[in-house]
Structure 1
Amino acid sequence: MSEKQVLFSRPLPIAVFIVLALAADQLIKYLVEAYLPFNEAVPVVPMLALYRTYNYGVAFSMLSGMEGWFIVGMRLVVVTFVLWLWRRTPKDRFFAHLGYALIIAGALGNLVDRLIFGYVIDYILFHTQTWSFAVFNLADSFITVGAGAIILDELLQAKKANA
């Protein structure tokens, strides 16, 4: 019996998805740069504000003291590794392939920023009066949701194996 091939297990759909996600990320960052004040919260709804800032590291400003080319190289290694995982994963695993597409799109979105500006543009802030989460962007969300999709896929595979 042959395995069912899911949409993002094929090269063309995943490439189109990644290009569209990357374009959306870059368009939003362009608009943020053009219209959002720097380091000034613009409330959207309670607990959510737009807040343009620059991240010189990786997620949540980790490694912000590292050389820019090291971070670029690290991102390229991550993209290469995820592409390798994508190719090795059975073609019927929808959530894994969706997760890989999201992670690649997010990594490339932040990589474009790093190459053009030397930093990543962040603009989403969740907060209360006494607490705030790290400022992040759409590309970071792609990476986080992608990782969640891969974890979900692994859990579903484990459940299927135990059934």
Structure 2
Amino acid sequence: MRYGVGAWPWYLLALVVIGLDQYSKGLASASLEYAQPVPVFSWFNLTLHHNTGAAFSFLSDAGGWQRYFFTGIAAVVSGLLVVWIYRLQRGQWLLALSLALVLGGAIGNVWDRLVLGYVVDFISVHYAGYYFPAFNLADSAITGGAIGMILDTFLGRPEGGTKED
């Protein structure tokens, strides 16, 4: 049996991710000075950055067309994720959870691109002078969702589960 209209809790989770992401970005934008790190731990700073590119600032200096390109890709992927979640078999909770996290993260970043023209990043992790590119809660949700999808692939279907469940 498919989730169908019973997929609403997963869509609600995606909305919660979007809400938390937008709230945290709003706090960061209101509280932090651009590119001025605020140390939290020896390996963790809050540092406001505006990313006009994709992951790791890929194509951030491409001249502006990338805003619409990445928005279009994310919009299409988000639409596909909505349908995928709807069509999932009941019992595929890990895959549904993972897809909901990716959906919420993708929409959170798309919202920034549409409204601001860039994605707000503010989480900075570093060690021994090496800095991981700044990111946000949406990026974290997307990463967690991707990890969940990989785990779901290895864990497989529940025992006795079939494609017709």
Structure 2 length as normaliser, TM-score? 0.86
Q: 1:23 aligns with which of 19, 22, 33?
A: 19
- 12 and 84 in structure 1: CA distance in 2 versus 1, 3 angstrom threshold: closer
Give the aligned partner of residue 11 of structure 1: 7
Over 3 Å counting, the alpha-carbon distance change for 1:33 and 1:99 in structure 2 is same
1:120 equivalent in alignment to 2:122? no
> Aligned-pair RMSD on alpha carbons?
2.2
Residue of structure 2 in register with 1:83 after alignment: 82
Query: Deviation digits for residues 75-134 of structure 1, max 9, x if unmatched?
Result: 111112222332343221111000000000000000111111000000001112321101
User: What are the equivalent positions in structure 2 for 1:19-58 lying under 5 Å apart?
Assistant: 19-58=15-54
Between the two proteins, the alignment pairs up a number of residues equal to 157
- The residue identity in structure 1 corresponding to 2:41 is V
Q: Which protein has greater RCO, CA pairs closer than 8 Å, 6+ apart?
A: 2
Q: How far 1:145 sits from its partner (Å)?
A: 0.1
Q: TM-score, normalised by structure 1?
A: 0.87
| Deviating 4+ runs (over 4 angstroms) | 158-161
Question: What corresponds to 1:155 in structure 2?
Answer: 154
State the SS of the aligned residue for 1:34.
helix
Residues 94, 17 of structure 1: alpha-carbon distance in 2 compared, 3 angstrom cutoff: same
Please list the CA deviations of residues 31-90 of structure 1 after superposition, one character each: whole Å capped at 9, or x if unmatched: 101001110111111111111001001111123226121111011111122223323432
Question: Unpaired runs of 5+ in structure 1?
Answer: none
Letter in 2 for 1:25: D
